[in-house]
Structure 1
Amino acid sequence: MDETRPTSEIPSPKNLNVHHWTSEEKIFKRKEKILRKIEPLSIPLRSALLYRLSRSFLGSFLKELNPNDIQDFLNNDNKWQILNWELRRYSKQDVKIINTRNCFIDDCYGLVEKAVTNGVEINLKFLESKIRNLRLDCIFVKKIDDCLKKFEHLKFLSLCGNYIRDIPGKFLPRNLEFLELFDNFIDNLSTFVKKAPKSLRHLGIGRNRLNDDSQLHLLGESRNFSQLISMDLSDNEFCNLELTLKSLGSVESLKSLCLEGNPCAVVSNYKTDVLECMPSLLYLDATEILDNDRISSENTQTHPHVVFHCFRILGLPEPPRDKKSVQTIHIEVNFPLLRMDSEGPNNDSAEEINFEEKEISTNEKNSQESLLTNKKKTSTIKNKTKSRESKSKSTQSKTKAKKSYYTIENEDINEAKHTKWYKSQRKPWSKKIEFDPIQINDDYIPLSSIRDTFRSIVPVRIIYLKFAPDSSKSKKSPNSKKTNTNYSKINEVGILSPQEEEPEEEILKKITLATFYCDLKTVNWSDKTLDFYWADHPRMGDRALRIDNGSLLDLDYNLDSTKKARKVTQGPETEPEKAALPHVLTCQIGFGWNR
C-alpha cells in the first residue's frame, strides 16, 4: 500500500458522520456508471482480441489486420528487421509500455520470430494452434462469442475487469483448465454450466453479481465439473451460507474454496459450517486448513457482531493536574452503515453516489467563481505561507518539547451529543491506556451492511474529557460496593451503543486529541482482528497503517522509561524483549467480528 495519499480521498471533518468507501472499493463502484454509459455498445470478444493483437508485435504481421499485405517470407522478414531496428531505439520507459502491450500472451516476440524464420503464414488459424495462455483483462468486453472455441491448446483464459454479464459454456475451448472472470457483471450460471469444458480445474467468478438465485446448484448437478479443484466465489452477494454450501457440497473434487467478501462469510460459525459440509477442503479463502482448524467451535451465536478493539494508547502526555475535576480519556469510532441500518433501510450506497454527483455538479457550476476568487487570494496566501514557514523554523529550533494537546480550544458539547459514535469506556490517564472491546450487539443489522463496513473508511478519534465529580456519589452508604463506574459507562455486555443516553453530568472541557482514518478490508477467518497502527507523526498523516502480518495485541512495552530493556540470555526459555514507549501519541486498534 502506498504511503502517500491524496488529501481528497480523506473525509473532511464535516463529513465524518457520512459513509465513505475505500479507494479500492470506489474503483469497483465506478464500473457501474461506466456500464450505463456503454450500454448501447456491443463489444464482442473477437473485437477485443483483434484490438489487443493490433497493439502487439503481431499487429503488423497478422493477416486479418493487414488484408492487403502479401504473406511471404521476404515481406515478413522486412517487417521483422524494421521491428527490431525500432526496438533498439526505444528508451527504458518505452520498453515497459511495449512489454505491457505484449504480455497478454506468453513470449509474443518469440512467437513472431519463429513464424518469420519458418516462413509460416501469420493469421488467427496459426495463433489457434500456438497460444496456450491468453489474458484479455480490462478491455471492455461485453459479449462472449465463439472466437476462442477453435483455440484447441488454450489452457489459461483470463477475462478480468470486463463487463461480461453472461458467459455461455459452449463458446469456451474444450481443453481449458483455468478460467478467471474476476470483476465482471455475471449474475447467473445457467448458460455457463451447459456444455462447459469438462477439463476445467479452476473457476474464478469473484467480484461479480452472483447471489442466492444465481443457479449455483447447477454446478453440483452437472457432470462437467468432475475435475474442478479450485473455485473463487469471493466478493459476491451470497447471503444464505447453508444454501450456498448445499449447492457446492456435491462437487466432491473441490479442494480450494473462496467465499470471503460475501455477506454469508461474516456469520459467527462460518469456518465450522464450511468444513462440516465440505470436509475434503484443503484451503478456505486462500488459507491452508490445519488440523486445529477442523475442531468445531462452541460459539452459539449465529448473527455476527462487529467488534472494535483499542489495544492501547501510548505516548500521550499527562494532562495538567486538577484535584477539583475528573479527567478521562476514551475512544470513539463511527460505523455509519451499521448506524443507519439500525434506524431504517440501508440506502447509503445510493445516497453516497447522489452526494458525489451533486458535489461534482456544484463544483462545475462554481468553477468560474472559484477561479476569480482564487486569483484575488493568491497574493495574501503567499504572504501567509512565508510567515508560517518562518514561524515553523523558529519553533523547531527553540524547543524539542512534546506537543501540547490540552491547550486546544474547548469543543461544543451540545453539538457532540447529536452525533452517534460508538464510545469506549472512560479511563484515567496513564503511560499505557488499555480499553475493553466495543461490541455492537444488534441482530437486525443485515449481513450485507456488516460486509460493506469492512469495505469502508472508518474514522477513529481520541477524546479527552474534564468534568466535575458527581456530588451524589461523594456520600457513600455503608452497603455500597466499589465499582469502576467513575471512568466507564458500560451496559450489561460491556459496551456502549450510540443510542444510549449518557447520564447527566457537568462536562467542563472536551478536546478531540486526534482523529485518524482506517481503510478496512475483509477479515480472514484465520485472523481475529484487522489491526491498525497510528502515530501523531508528520510522515504518517491522518491515515492509520494497516498491519497485514501479525497482531498488535501481543506487543508488550517497558513502562519504566529510566531502565533500558535487557535480553535474558541465561536459561533455555528467554523472555521476549519489551519495546520502549514511543515519544509521540500512538494508538493501536483492531477491527473484527465475533466468530
Structure 2
Amino acid sequence: MAPKPPTAVTRPPISDSSLVYVPEDVVEGYQERIETGIDWTLIELGAQHHRRKAINREAIPTITFSDGLINKINRGYLKGFLDDTSCINLDQQWEQILPATLWDNEKFATDEGKILFNGINCLTDDLIKLIYKAVVTGNRDTLWSELKMAEVLRVNNEKITELDVGLLEFKKLVSLNLCGNYIMDIEPNFIPPTLRALELQANHISNINSFVESLPHHLIYIGLAKNLLTDESVDAFSRLPFNLTVLDLSDNDIYHLDPLLDALVRLPNLTSLYLVGNPCSVCATYARLILMVLPRLKWLDSRQVLPTDRSLEPYEAHPDDLRSSYFYFTVFRVMSAPQPPKPEKGATTAFHVELELPLLDVERRKFLLYRRYESLTEILAPPEEEEVEKAISTVLRPSTKALSTIKGIDVDEASSNASNVYDHLVTKSSRVINNFTTFESNKIQWAKVMNFQEPTVKIFCPDLFALRNTFRSVITVNLVYSIVYAKSGKTEKKSSHALKMPTEQRVVLASIKCTLRNPDWTQPSQHFHWDDSLGTDEAIHWGDRDLAVIQYTQAPVKVVKGKPEADPATSSRQLPPENLTCHFGFGIETIRAS
C-alpha cells in the first residue's frame, strides 16, 4: 500500500498580514508608539538601557582596557595589597583588613550586596592564593607579576570602550571575560594569541568583520550574547576559528534562520549553540531545522540534544514556517474561586479570563500607526440624563447583601463560600471606547475546578520581533466574574418613567502578573502558578514542571494498601486547594521531529 500523502497545512498569508504591513502614509515614529506602555521585565529594561547607550556613543567617555583593569582593582580588596603608598603593610592587610572585609560581607551584606562584592573581587581564579604569595615574599611587585601570569581574567562591567596594548602583558591568558562593557569593535593586534575562551556578552558589537579572522585559531568558545548583531553580521560567522565548539549568539536581533545556518554549517567542530532570544528562535521550525542542518550539535540553548529530537527522515522547512509562528495562551484551570450568590431572576452569571497582548494586537497596531498612544482609550461625553439614571439605579439596585436582607435571607447561609468581592460589581460602561483588543476565554459557570477551552488564545504571528518581545514582557491576566441582566420588556419600554438598567456588571476577582521568559524549544509552553495565599499579584514560574498533567478530584484520593502515600506536590491526582488558585501557560507553536 502506498504511503498516505502528507496532510496539507493551511497557512495564513504573511505578506499582507496586519502585524507586518506598513502603509505608505504611516505617521513617523509608529514603532516607538507601538512599544509605549509595554510592561517590560526588569531584565529587558536593563537591556534597553544598555542599547540606548550604544545609540548615544558620543556621551560615553573613552575607557581603555588598562583603565578598566585599574578601576576594577581599586574597587576590590586587591587594592590594599597593590597600593605602594599605603601605610598598612602586606602582613597587616592579610591578617587584619582582609579577614574583616570578608567577615563583614558574609555576616552583614544583603544577597544583592554579596553578588556585587563577588563580582568586584572575581578578577581571576584563586585570587586569595595570589595574594598569599605576595604576602610570603613581602613584595607587592610579586602580586603584579603573578597576576599577569594568570590564565583567567575578568574585567567585566567597567565601561571599557576599547582594548589596548596592556592586554598583551597577560602572557598565559586562556579565558578573558569582558562582559558588560561598551566595546563596539576590537583591535585585532590586541587579542592575546593564547586565548581559548573569549566572553564579550552585553557589549555594543554590531559586526565582527573587523576582528573575526584575527581570533586565535585554537579558540573554542566565544560569547557574543546581548550585543547588537543582526542579519547583516551573519556572513562573518562562517569565518570564525575552525576549532570553535561553543558559540553564544543569544539575545541579539538575528531574524532569518536560513542564512545563519548557511554560515554555521562551515564550523565543523561546533557542538553547542545558543540562539535563544533572537527573533529567529521563535519561528515554528526553529529547533527541527537547526538539528537537521547541524548534525554534530549536542547542545542547543543549554538543552542537550537527544536522539528523539532529530528527524529520522529528511526535512525541508516551508518558507513561511521560518518567518512565523503561533502564540498560545492556555488557562489550565481555576480552582476554589469564591462561590457567587444566586443571581436575580432572568440574570445570567459567568466566569472568564482576559488579558491584553499589546505587541500581538492587530487593532492596537493599526490605530497607533496614525494616532497617539494616549488616545488608545477614549471616553464619550455622557448623555444629560445619565447622571440621574445612575443615581436612581444605585437606589433601585442594592447590593447582593442588601437584597438578601430584604428577603430575610442571610447571605452567609445562601453561600458559605461567597465573598464580599461580589458586593463590588461595576457597571460596564458603553461610553468607553478601547482601540485595542482584550483577549478573552470562553465563559463558564462556577465550579470548584473550572476548566477552560484550550488553547484559550491563539494568535498567528508573522512578526518575529513582536513575538520575541512579547516574551520579554509581563502579561497581566484577569479573572473576571460578570452578571448580565435581562433586558426590559415591551411594557417597560413604553413607559416614559422606565429606568435604563445596567445590562452587564463585572468584578475582577484576581489580577495576576506573569513575567514571561524566552521560549524553550524542548517545552510546548511555560507554566505559571498563582494562589491568593502568596500575598502578591506575581505568579510563580513553574520551571520545567508541567501543570497540565495534574488532575484534581473532589472525591477522596484512594490510597492503595501496602503502598506509600503519594506526595501531593508530585502526585498527578490530588484534591483541589482551599485557596483561589490559577494555572496558566504561554507558548509558541513548534514543529517537532517525526
On whether the aligned pair clears a TM of 0.5, the verdict is yes
Deviation at 1:264, TM superposition (A): 0.4
| 1:79 lines up with 2:90 in the alignment | yes
> How high is the TM-score relative to the length of structure 2?
0.73
Tell me the secondary structure at the aligned position of residue 509 of structure 1.
Answer: strand
Task: Give the residue type in structure 1 aligned to 2:543.
Answer: D
| 1:327 lines up with 2:349 in the alignment | yes
Change (3 A) 1:41 1:254: same
Deviations along 1:36-74, whole A, 9 cap, x unmatched?
A: 387251011110112222344543554xx64x89xxxxx
CA contact (8 A) 2:292 2:311 kept: no
Change (3 A) 1:248 1:295: same
Correspondence for 2:104:
93
Note the 1:486-497 alignment, pairs <5 A. none
| Farther-moved stretch of structure 1 (49-58 vs 132-141) | 49-58
Correspondence for 2:280:
264
| 1:518 lines up with 2:510 in the alignment | no
Note the 1:82-161 alignment, pairs <5 A. 82-90=93-101, 92-94=103-105, 100-118=119-137, 122=141, 126-127=145-146, 129-161=148-180
Aligned residues between the structures: 483
Note the 1:211-360 alignment, pairs <5 A. 211-214=230-233, 216-221=234-239, 225-295=241-311, 302=321, 303-322=324-343, 324-339=346-361, 343-344=365-366
Correspondence for 1:553:
548
Correspondence for 2:70:
50
CA contact (8 A) 2:206 2:227 kept: yes
Task: Give the residue type in structure 2 aligned to 1:219.
Answer: F
Deviation at 1:134, TM superposition (A): 0.8
User: What CA distance in whole angstroms lies between the structure 1 residues aligned with 2:289 and 2:194?
Assistant: 34
Tell me the secondary structure at the aligned position of residue 510 of structure 1.
Answer: strand
Deviation at 1:79, TM superposition (A): 3.0
Correspondence for 1:582:
577
CA contact (8 A) 1:168 1:194 kept: no
Task: Give the residue type in structure 1 aligned to 2:235.
Answer: H
Task: Give the residue type in structure 1 aligned to 2:553.
Answer: N
Deviation at 1:217, TM superposition (A): 2.3
User: What CA distance in whole angstroms lies between the structure 2 residues aligned with 1:458 and 1:186?
Assistant: 31
Task: Give the residue type in structure 2 aligned to 1:518.
Answer: C
| Farther-moved stretch of structure 1 (293-302 vs 282-291) | 293-302
Deviation at 1:207, TM superposition (A): 0.6
Unaligned runs of 5+ in 2: 1-34, 107-113, 375-414, 489-500
User: What CA distance in whole angstroms lies between the structure 2 residues aligned with 1:89 and 1:430?
Assistant: 60
Task: Give the residue type in structure 1 aligned to 2:355.
Answer: V
Change (3 A) 1:121 1:405: closer
CA contact (8 A) 1:239 1:264 kept: yes
User: What CA distance in whole angstroms lies between the structure 2 residues aligned with 1:153 and 1:54?
Assistant: 23
CA contact (8 A) 2:337 2:580 kept: yes
Change (3 A) 1:253 1:351: farther
Correspondence for 2:61:
41
Note the 1:1-16 alignment, pairs <5 A. none
Unaligned runs of 5+ in 1: 1-15, 70-74, 353-398, 472-504
Deviation at 1:21, TM superposition (A): 0.5
CA contact (8 A) 1:268 1:594 kept: yes
Deviation at 1:414, TM superposition (A): 2.0
Tell me the secondary structure at the aligned position of residue 512 of structure 2.
Answer: strand
User: What CA distance in whole angstroms lies between the structure 2 residues aligned with 1:307 and 1:193?
Assistant: 39
Correspondence for 2:422:
406
- The alignment's C-alpha RMSD in Å is 3.6
Deviation at 1:344, TM superposition (A): 4.0
Deviation at 1:542, TM superposition (A): 1.3
Change (3 A) 1:117 1:260: same
Task: Give the residue type in structure 1 aligned to 2:125.
Answer: D
Task: Give the residue type in structure 2 aligned to 1:220.
Answer: S
Q: Which of 461, 472, 482 is equivalent to 1:465?
A: 482
Deviation at 1:536, TM superposition (A): 2.2
Task: Give the residue type in structure 2 aligned to 1:554.
Answer: V
| 1:189 lines up with 2:208 in the alignment | yes
| 1:536 lines up with 2:564 in the alignment | no
Task: Give the residue type in structure 1 aligned to 2:445.
Answer: P
Change (3 A) 1:409 1:164: same
User: What CA distance in whole angstroms lies between the structure 2 residues aligned with 1:23 and 1:430?
Assistant: 36
User: What CA distance in whole angstroms lies between the structure 1 residues aligned with 2:367 and 2:280?
Assistant: 19
